[in-house]
Chain A
């Protein structure tokens, strides 16, 4: 039984070189399609599956792009094409579930399933757009923002 389990686990180990999120990481990319990047401290990184996302990052997609991220508090956040999402603040205490999650959708579409932070405290998660501020009392919601097309 044990050796069969190891046989199952080994290819997985080889296929996945990227480490689990450390305390400083906010989350990890689980889904990535088309053109997608992370802007971090003036650098552009590819938004590939397994890539970690940190506080301060801006995740940007092109016309054919989409990205799905699982955060450390189990928040699930995904963006569609031509979108830009700033991870302005992410703090999560895994013992008490206290902290803050502030994100800003600058452009495009966003789908959210809120996680342990919003469950612990209704003020813990905030999402803003250029036109509005959202207060999140859980759990699943959608956001689109951008100038009107004439």
Chain B
């Protein structure tokens, strides 16, 4: 005398769900007056620098370039600027802000000139790198090699990659799975200390180990 439980089904097929997202667009295109609840807020950068954001809706445009500069779009083609606040932003965007991933952290290892040999003081950093990896969900390690400006761009691209790969091999020996590590060579493009071409600079002969 068992009654089969009603089968739980998705109330809308997938295609219909996509159409739902499109519905407000279609309506506004038809009626031109559908009201919206859109809000755009520029935050101060964590590094102390605030960037800029342009908000454009059918030819109307606002540039937000100060901390908490904000714009409302209540209908397509209308952009109203105002100033929000830290508290207001937390209230409007709490869950999205709480879901932000941890910021990547970088460690630097230094190299002897024109080699992939570590400068001796760099070896002690490895323990700190391990600790950072252990703190993160689904950690990824990105190893980015850099050079000084002695040599050609092409040569330095190859040297920087070799330095990154040398680092990767050392981390693998210490037990970090290869599959979690990616490598890149930035050559001489991103000096820590800007110099003229062909100037040897130990502080630029480095590898960045970014944990994210």
Name A's B-contacting residues (CB within 8 A): 1-2, 5-6, 8-10, 12-13, 16, 18-21, 28-31, 33, 39, 42, 44, 49-50, 66-70, 74, 76, 78-81, 83-84, 94-96, 106-107, 109-111, 113-114, 118, 129-149
B101–A146 contact, CB under 8 A? no
Contacts A16-B180, A140-B51: A131 and B97 contacting too (C-beta < 8 A)? no
Chain B residues, Cβ within 8 Å of A142: 39-41, 43, 89, 92-93, 96-97
Interface SS of chain B: mixed
A146–B38 contact, CB under 8 A? yes
Assembly CA distance A8 to B41 (angstroms): 41
B133–A147 contact, CB under 8 A? no
Name B's A-contacting residues (CB within 8 A): 14, 21-22, 24-25, 28, 34-47, 49-57, 64, 73-76, 79, 89, 92-104, 126-127, 130-131, 133-134, 136-142, 144, 157, 174-177, 179-182, 184-187, 189, 210, 212
B96–A138 contact, CB under 8 A? no
Assembly CA distance A80 to B98 (angstroms): 9
Chain A residues, Cβ within 8 Å of B64: 141
Nearest opposing residue in chain B for A83, CB measure: B96
A20–B92 contact, CB under 8 A? no
B96–A79 contact, CB under 8 A? yes
Contacts A5-B127, A95-B187, A114-B51: A10 and B101 contacting too (C-beta < 8 A)? no
> Which of A10, A69, A95 is packed against the most chain B CB atoms within 10 Å?
A95
B25, B97, B134: the one within 8 Å of A130 (CB):
B25
B55–A134 contact, CB under 8 A? yes
Nearest opposing residue in chain B for A39, CB measure: B14
Other than the given A114-B51, A131-B76, A140-B46, 17 more pairs (CB < 8 A) read A8-B131, A28-B138, A31-B99, A31-B100, A50-B138, A66-B96, A69-B101, A70-B104, A70-B212, A74-B210, A84-B21, A133-B56, A133-B57, A139-B51, A142-B43, A145-B37, A146-B38
A131–B73 contact, CB under 8 A? yes
B45, B57, B175, B184: the one within 8 Å of A140 (CB):
B45
A5, A141, A147: the one within 8 Å of B43 (CB):
A141
B185–A18 contact, CB under 8 A? no
Chain A residues, Cβ within 8 Å of B50: 139
